Amino acid sequence: MRRKRPGPSARAARVVCAALLALPAAGCMDFVAPEFAGAGAPATFNGAIRVVDGAALLVDGRLVPGRAGTGFLRAVPAPELLVLDTAVAPTRITETALDYQSELPLAAAGGVDAAGPVAWRAPVVEGVGEPPSIVWYPYRPVAPDTFSVVAGQDVVVRVRPPAGATTPAPDRTSWFVTVVGGTGSVRVSADGVPPETIRIPPAFLPEPAGERWRVRLQVFEQAGLSGAGGDYQAQLVLETRFDWLVDRRPAP
């Protein structure tokens, strides 16, 4: 009985496998699937905006302009993100995507403080509708960045609601308070809008490091955005982050 000869695709697969096996064993290769959107798929942007300690605005993300209905890659004639009045250029450009990463001092980024508003707009992509955009009002802290509590009392974190209404409104909100001591950490979290006063009883607190805890509040808001016509979509994480140093004083 004659053996059936493998077709061209099978022979090609064997050649590829042989080439891979011939590579030095010390090497390590990661194969990442390319971001080839189908013809006519919407342009997409995924990223984050973060206000850190009221002093810095961190911006990052990835734009995938995708392909027009003809199958050709869409052009990006204006590749800059617009954050407040600052144009943020891409830090890396590949055939299929543009990556962004920037840190803006708030005083230099339009002269606003941590209360907002923080205006954000996606880059311009050819052949799709207006870029998605948002005006964000972060949450605001109440206490100074260093305070003290008497041993045996609650650690209390206070936060003010945003100074205005984020437009469009976020789809989901969650918050975390993390207390770090010398013997570990404790995290309190919940979905929904954070209460203005968050208390952590002493029974749940780790032993401080040198009579001091480090406390961090993070509020995450997730926003799904879409340009006119729905052919340009964005997913953003909006994070407010504040840190405190809390000293434990001996009871009187």
Instruction: Report pLDDT digits (tens) over 66-76.
Output: 998 888 899 99
Q: What is the mean pLDDT of the chain?
A: 83
Mean pLDDT in residue range 40-54: 92
The confidence score (pLDDT) of residue 55 equals: 83
Under the banding of pLDDT at 50, 70 and 90, the label for residue 115 is confident
Whole-angstrom distance, CA of residue 117 vs CA of residue 138:
8
**pLDDT mean over 11-17:** 34
The residue ranking higher by pLDDT, 117 or 17, is 117
pLDDT score recorded for residue 107? 61
Question: Cα separation of 84 and 61, whole Å?
Answer: 16
Position 135 scores a pLDDT of: 96
Q: Would the pLDDT of 234 be above 90?
A: yes
CB atoms within 10 A of CB 159: 21
Average pLDDT over residues 199-211: 95
| pLDDT at 216 exceeding the cut of 80 | yes
- C-alpha distances out from residue 205 to 135, 141, 155, Å: 37, 21, 8
What is the per-residue pLDDT for 36?
53
Question: What is the phi/psi pair of residue 53, to 5°?
Answer: 55, 25
pLDDT above 60 for 13 = no
The DSSP bridge pattern shows strands 86-88 and 81-83 to be antiparallel
Q: DSSP per residue over 62-115, as a string?
A: EEE--B-TTSPBPP-SB--EEETTEEE--SEE-SS-EEEEEEEEGGGTTS--TT
* pLDDT for 28 beyond 70: no
Q: Which residue has the tokens 């305070």?
A: 147
CB 150 within 8 A of CB 249: yes
Question: For residue 188, what pLDDT is reported?
Answer: 94
Q: Read off the pLDDT of residues 135-185 as tens digits, 9 standing for 90 and up.
A: 999 998 887 889 999 999 999 999 999 999 999 999 999 999 999 999 899
Backbone angles phi, psi at 215, to 5 degrees: -120, 135
